[in-house]
Amino acid sequence: MDYRTHSALYRHGMRIASIVCSTLLVWNVVFALPFRAIAQQYTKVKDVPTPITAKRRQVPPRSLTENLRPLTVEQKRQLPKLELKVAENLSLLDPVGRLSQDVRTQTVADWKTQLHSSHIRASKAARLYVWLGEWELANNQHPQLAIRYFRQAQKLSNSTQAIYGLATYDSAIAAYYEGAYAGASRAFHHILMVKPFLHGFDRRNCSLFLRHAEACAGYHDDRAKMGITEPTRLDPLCGVAGMSSQVVRVNLPWVSQS
């Protein structure tokens, strides 16, 4: 290949390269920038969160709709008359049965120490028993032990005192959280209808607990009719009791209190 041929090929190659560069420049200026702007707008629109459509409302079981009955005329007539004053700080629980304030373990130990004193007044002892029961119910989730404390408070008071009504009301809440819905509904009904009227608690909350307990009891009744039986109450020590058979099998002593 002579010099002239090589020079012609070089000029031809440079011409093609300049055409390609010019084409790319024109593409970048004329077409690429508008397309990039359109793509950015599309991305912004795509990033906008789409509204969440409301879920389809689920129809509650028939037992719930049938048992959530409104208050009777007699109950509505009595409610305005029964807005009795509740002593401040009488209960440690909120409306749904949880602790409304932090209770330290040392405070609980002090309550138990005071109860062992021979000079404690009956009214103060009754209050301490109620607080111990509420702490066991809400903090330790031990409704059975809580009911024992509430009964001690009832023995140290009478039906005209607010602490007695609160102990009775807390006992019904403990039965509800124990899973004894039928017994809890009877207890709440008794609390609302007994005369002379009990006080020391919110009767409207008691009415709500009553309706909910009746709904749960009705739901269990419907399942029992279908052959699906539910326990009458929950046992927090059922797992421990199940292990007792293995302990006895290896000839080791075992009692429920351990």
Nearest to 91 by CA among 191, 177, 184, 168: 168
Mean pLDDT estimate for the chain: 78
Q: What is the mean pLDDT of residues 104-127?
A: 93
User: Which carries the bigger pLDDT value, residue 41 or residue 115?
Assistant: 115
Confidence of residue 132 (pLDDT cuts 50, 70, 90): very high
pLDDT of residue 24: 72
Q: What is the mean pLDDT of residues 18-47?
A: 64
Classify residue 10 by burial, with Cβ atoms within 10 Å: 0-12, 13-18, 19+.
exposed
Confidence of residue 227 (pLDDT cuts 50, 70, 90): confident
Q: What is the mean pLDDT of residues 48-69?
A: 52
Nearest to 100 by CA among 112, 83, 88: 88
Confidence of residue 162 (pLDDT cuts 50, 70, 90): very high
SS (H, E, C) 18-76: HHHHHHHHHHHHHHHHHHHHHHHHHHHHHHCCCCCCCCCCCCCCHHHHHHCCCCCHHHH
Q: What is the mean pLDDT of residues 150-178?
A: 95
Nearest to 167 by CA among 149, 181, 185, 190: 149
DSSP per-residue letters across 105-137: HHHHHHHHHHHT-TT--HHHHHHHHHHHHHHHH
Cα distance between residue 186 and residue 180, in whole Å? 10
Does the structure show a pLDDT above 80 at 59?
no
Cα distance between residue 42 and residue 38, in whole Å? 6
pTM above 0.85, yes or no: no
- When mean pLDDT is compared across 14-18, 24-28, 41-45, 143-147, the lowest value belongs to 41-45
Confidence of residue 82 (pLDDT cuts 50, 70, 90): very low
pLDDT of residue 240: 61
Residue with tokens 């912004």: 44
| Domain 62-225 sits in CATH 1.25.40 | yes
Within a 13 Å sphere around the CA of 209, how many CA atoms are in the beta-carbon half?
Answer: 32
Does the structure show a pLDDT above 70 at 241?
no
Nearest to 122 by CA among 83, 71, 157, 85: 157
- When mean pLDDT is compared across 22-31, 41-50, 218-227, 240-249, the lowest value belongs to 41-50
